[in-house]
Amino acid sequence: MQTESSLHPGSARALYIGHQRPCHVRMEGQALVIQCTHMAECSVPLRHIARIHLSTRVDMSLQVLARCTRRGIPVVVADPQGEIILRALGREGIDEGLRLRLQRLSQDFEWPARFDNWHRAQMMRATRIAIRRLGWEGNADTVRSTEQRSRNELSRHLGKRTAHRVVKQWHSLTLAWMQAALQEHGIDARSDAWVNDHIDLASSLAAPLERQLLPLLLQWAANQENPAPETIWQTLIDLFEGRHQTIERTGRDLLNRLHRWLVEND
Q: Which residue has the higher pLDDT, 130 or 95?
A: 130
Q: Which residue has the higher pLDDT, 165 or 214?
A: 214
Tens digits of residue pLDDT in 214-249? 999 999 999 987 777 677 877 888 888 888 889 989
> Does the model's pTM come out above 0.75?
no
- To the nearest whole number, what is the mean pLDDT of the chain? 79
**Which three-class secondary structure string do you get for 87-142?**
EECCCCCHHHHHHHHHHHHHCCCCHHHHHHHHHHHHHHHHHHHHHHHHCCCCCCCH
Tens digits of residue pLDDT in 45-95? 888 887 788 888 888 877 788 788 777 777 878 776 566 777 776 544 455
For 116-141, what is the mean pLDDT?
A: 87
3-state class (DSSP) for residue 194? coil
